[in-house]
Homo-oligomer: A and B are copies of this chain.
Amino acid sequence: MFTLSEENYLKAIYHLELDTGKGVSTNAIAKKLETKASSVSDMIKKLSEKDVVVYKKYKGVTLTGFGKKIAASIVRKHRLWEVFLVDKLNFSWDEVHDVAEQLEHIKSPKLVNQLDSFLGFPSHDPHGDPIPDKDGGLKIIEKSLLSTLEKNETGVCVGVNDSSSEFLKFLDKKEITLGKQIIVLEKEDFDDSLSIQIDGKKLSISNKIANNLYVQKS
């Protein structure tokens, strides 16, 4: 059994490892968890005692297979709860993260399975992130940042890179939601802004936005 704190470390390492593809530095973990590098050093030692990470002093840390399974199960719970909050309790997608951060630590295999079934076995959370299966497997879909589309290319919104409440609310205001199709009408060389068509309407999109919205090319 793992403590709340241990679970949060495992999840942080899991995400950092996925993002960068390599071993994770003490500082990177400290930054992600808003804690101090010294605290991270201490915790990593405990985690390697428990065989969930491989650790060589000064050389960073990697999850073991076992550690990866535990981390994935926490991410699975996080994302299932986010679906629950949005689909069943009428939360909007910018309100769910903090509550899911708490709910992901509830320990009950039956609860997770029943919730999964109650929600209709969703494959992705409200932000377009994939939900790991029971064994920790992730179905990665092919997605590109909107900013990488060329003029006249089209794509369907499938996810966000920045999932801050501010960005999500901005998308709400512009009525840009997952599942909608986007056509790139124009790319401005000057500021890399885009002119797109969505819902049959024309919209101007800054590069900052286009860099934080994922589409599946179509």
Contacts and interface: CB of A to CB of B under 8 A. Distances in A.
Given A102-B106, A106-B102, A111 B85 contact: yes
Contacts of A118: 88-89
- What class of interface size applies to chain A in its complex with B? 10 to 19
A91 interface: yes
Q: What's the number of copies of this chain in the assembled complex?
A: 2
A57 interface: no
Contacts of A102: 106-108
B111 A89 contact: yes
Contact of A108 (B88, B99, B110): B99
A198 interface: no
Interface of A: 85, 88-91, 95, 98-99, 102-103, 106-108, 110-111, 114-115, 118
10 contacts: A89-B111, A89-B114, A89-B118, A91-B110, A91-B114, A95-B110, A99-B110, A102-B106, A102-B108, A103-B103
A89 B115 CA distance: 7
Contacts of A88: 118
Contact of A106 (B91, B95, B103): B103
